[in-house]
Amino acid sequence: MAFINEHYLKLAAGYLFPEIARRVTVFSKEHPELAPEIIRCGIGDVTEPLPTSAVRAMHAATEELATRATFKGYGPGTGYDSVRAAIAQGDFRSRGLDVADDEVFLSDGSKGDCGNILEILGAGNRVAVTDPVYPAYVDANVMFGNTGAALAGGGYDGILYLPCTEANGFLADVPSAGTPAPDVIYLCSPNNPTGTVMDRARATAWVEYARKHRAIIFWDAAYESYNRSDAPKSVYEIPGARECAVEFRSFSKSGGFTGVRCGYTVLPKSVMAYTRAGEPVALHPLWTRRWNTRSNGVSYAVQRGAEALYTPEGQKEVRALVDFYMENARILREGCTRLGWKTWGGEHAPYVWCKVPDGSDSWAFFDRLLRKARVVTTPGAGFGRCGEGYFRISAFNSRANVEEVVRRLGAL
């Protein structure tokens, strides 16, 4: 008899984005004449073509594979040395941050990494997440057995939810004294879904908190390229973070790689976790071992494409791509503000977070926007209890569509 992982049975509803897609499909079937008018600002999926330097590098890599002299078979599970070096230099050392080449681990994207990393910690860690939160962190922890059952009002037993509300500017504060300290803390800045950026003082408080409690911060910086503020772009800007933080990065939103698939994790050699007997153990060798056992790494051509984003030409193209979506975000943010809607984010992030203007619940408002404006957004409730009453608009779309969204919202 084969047994299942019963933790999967705890998963409450379908994953947020498939549920959105399901509702859009239902509407499209009911109104096929309106389906072509639907504009999708729900899932944050890029729309613009890849940077030319990445395309050229992937072509060239494919040609190398077509010739016996330059053919490549299995690559290193953790990534090619030259790619790890380009990343460590381009994203960290060039900004004065101490990250060694072999502390960078290539992957097919940070969505997988932020769940896979749990494997080297094992089940039983108490996990803290912000509320609202990117749902993949929570679901991965449920599947892994780090939570109890789904709770009636939303969320899961055993997770420490850090409320992010208008009162704290949708930025998580460290738990108050007396709250049992979590072992693992997920933080995301620029934030998905609220688009807010964690200031240096809060990030410093989190690093100090993690070090005091021997906890680990999982810092998701997938949207780092949108952060043009003085707030930290990397957790390693904060003194002490190399002792307690793992950082996830992605080329999805900087290089338009959502379909190509490439990201990376930074795991400094100085990050420790503990045996049940209290012995410190470095995570770096465990993560290296995990990759070498579980994977043969990211495909060669894709790694070459990612590496090309660090050339001077690639950097210019990434900047232009991010500028394009930032301008979309500005148009959306200002459009919503003109309508008198309360908004956050959209300034150093590709997401605009809005308060539902008519006081209805966020799925009801989602349905109204879909049916009346043919615009797909993401209901805040899908990100957690504190997301109820809000919705997210993604700036990943064509300029024409973004302008049309603003026009339709105005005509609601």
Which member of 23, 111, 333, 348 binds ligand MLT (CB under 6 A)?
Answer: 111
Q: How far is CA 88 from the centre of its chain?
A: 20
Tell me how far, at minimum, the Cβ of 250 lies from ligand MLT, in Å.
Answer: 7
Instruction: Considering only the stretches 37-45, 142-150, 177-185, 358-366, report the one whose residues sit in contact with ligand MLT under the rule CB under 6 A.
Output: 37-45
Instruction: Considering only the stretches 22-30, 42-50, 51-59, 158-166, report the one whose residues sit in contact with ligand MLT under the rule CB under 6 A.
Output: 42-50
Size of the site for ligand MLT (CB under 6 A): 6
* CB closer to ligand MLT, 183 vs 224: 224
Tell me how far, at minimum, the Cβ of 298 lies from ligand MLT, in Å.
Answer: 17
Name residue, tokens 């504060």: 173
Which member of 24, 35, 43, 339 binds ligand MLT (CB under 6 A)?
Answer: 43
Q: Is 343 left (phi over 0), alpha (psi -120 to 50) or beta?
A: beta
Instruction: Considering only the stretches 41-49, 121-129, 211-219, 283-291, report the one whose residues sit in contact with ligand MLT under the rule CB under 6 A.
Output: 41-49
CA pair distance 278, 66, nearest whole angstrom: 52
Q: Is 314 in the site for ligand MLT (CB under 6 A)?
A: no
* CB closer to ligand MLT, 80 vs 257: 257
CA pair distance 133, 385, nearest whole angstrom: 10
Can you give the chain as a three-state secondary structure string? Answer: CCCCCHHHHHCCCCCHHHHHHHHHHHHHHHCCCCHHHCEECCCCCCCCCCCHHHHHHHHHHHHHHCCCCCCCCCCCCCCCHHHHHHHHHHHHHHHCCCCCHHHEEEECCHHHHHHHHHHHCCCCCCEEEEECCCHHHHHHHHHHCCCCCECCCCCECCCEEEECCHHHCCCCCCCCCCCCCCCEEEEECCCCCCCCCCCHHHHHHHHHHHHHHCCEEEEECCCHHHCCCCCCCCHHHCCCHHHHEEEEEECCCCCCCCCCCCEEEECCCCCEEECCCCCEEEHHHHHHHHHHHHCCCCCHHHHHHHHHCCCHHHHHHHHHHHHHHHHHHHHHHHHHHHCCCCEEECCCCCEEEEECCCCCCHHHHHHHHHHHHCEECEEHHHHCHHHCCEEEEECCCCHHHHHHHHHHHHCC
Q: Is 44 in the site for ligand MLT (CB under 6 A)?
A: yes
* CB closer to ligand MLT, 250 vs 303: 250
Tell me how far, at minimum, the Cβ of 193 lies from ligand MLT, in Å.
Answer: 6
Q: Is 189 in the site for ligand MLT (CB under 6 A)?
A: no
Q: Is 40 in the site for ligand MLT (CB under 6 A)?
A: no
Q: Is 380 in the site for ligand MLT (CB under 6 A)?
A: no
Tell me how far, at minimum, the Cβ of 45 lies from ligand MLT, in Å.
Answer: 6
* CB closer to ligand MLT, 134 vs 300: 134
Tell me how far, at minimum, the Cβ of 123 lies from ligand MLT, in Å.
Answer: 23
User: Do 45 and 396 form a contact (C-beta atoms < 8 A)?
Assistant: yes
Residue nearest to ligand MLT (CB): 44
CA pair distance 171, 191, nearest whole angstrom: 9
Tell me how far, at minimum, the Cβ of 136 lies from ligand MLT, in Å.
Answer: 6
Tell me how far, at minimum, the Cβ of 19 lies from ligand MLT, in Å.
Answer: 13
* CB closer to ligand MLT, 16 vs 216: 16
Where in 117-176 is the site for ligand MLT (CB under 6 A)? 134
Instruction: Considering only the stretches 28-36, 43-51, 125-133, 228-236, report the one whose residues sit in contact with ligand MLT under the rule CB under 6 A.
Output: 43-51
Tell me how far, at minimum, the Cβ of 279 lies from ligand MLT, in Å.
Answer: 36
Instruction: Considering only the stretches 27-35, 38-46, 179-187, 227-235, report the one whose residues sit in contact with ligand MLT under the rule CB under 6 A.
Output: 38-46
Q: Is 192 in the site for ligand MLT (CB under 6 A)?
A: yes
* CB closer to ligand MLT, 132 vs 314: 132
Applying CB under 6 A, the residues found at the interface with ligand MLT are: 43-45, 111, 134, 192
